[in-house]
Amino acid sequence: GPFEGALPSRVLGLAWGSYSAPVQFTETGTTTVVQTIPIALTIQNVASVLTPSGGLAPSGSVGGPFTPASKAYTWSNPGSIGLSYERVVSQPWVSVTGPAGGTLGTGQSVAFTVALDAGLTAALPAGTHNAEVRFRNPVTTSVTYATVPVTLTVTSGGGGAGEIDLNVVIGGSNIWRTH
């Protein structure tokens, strides 16, 4: 059957192309070669470009609205092979338009928009909430071609129903008194 093992770190830095070398197995404790197996390795030119770079970073007060609520992207494949992919969204409050999977062929691109789900983000508490949209290989899920980070900043201010911002009332040059 096929041999499974880890590649040395120096292999990970090779340029794309074809490589071959013999692997020699020796007797334990000696330099006597027991078997030699020729190995061929092909590193394909896998390239991926996400435009614009950077993620979606909306902000707003608890309950929303949050701005910007969405951002449009284009994911391109200038490489020499098609990229089989699946789209993974890490949080339910993030939605994405466009195909959820398929093959992005050589020289092709796909347009998509990353957006917030207003109904779900309205329920988030104050703080920083992180999510990501990843386009990854569906077989070797550890290979990610493109990632869009989403960082939602929810602040506690905003004067929701029944709240009064006392900094506004007592600040400035006017003094307000109640009788």
What does the pLDDT look like over 63-98, one tens digit per residue?
999 999 999 999 999 988 889 999 999 999 999 999
Grade residue 167 by pLDDT with cuts at 50, 70 and 90. Answer: very low
Task: Give per-residue pLDDT as tens, 137-163.
Answer: 898 877 888 999 999 999 997 544 444
Sign, CA dihedral 114-115-117-122, equals positive
Identify which of 26, 24, 1, 21 has the alpha carbon closest to the alpha carbon of residue 10. 21
Mean pLDDT of 169-175: 46
Which range has the worst mean pLDDT, 3-7, 84-88, 98-102, 165-169? 165-169
State how far the Cα of 48 lies from the Cα of 51, in Å rounded to an integer. 10
Task: Give per-residue pLDDT as tens, 29-68.
Answer: 888 888 888 887 766 656 788 999 889 999 999 999 999 9
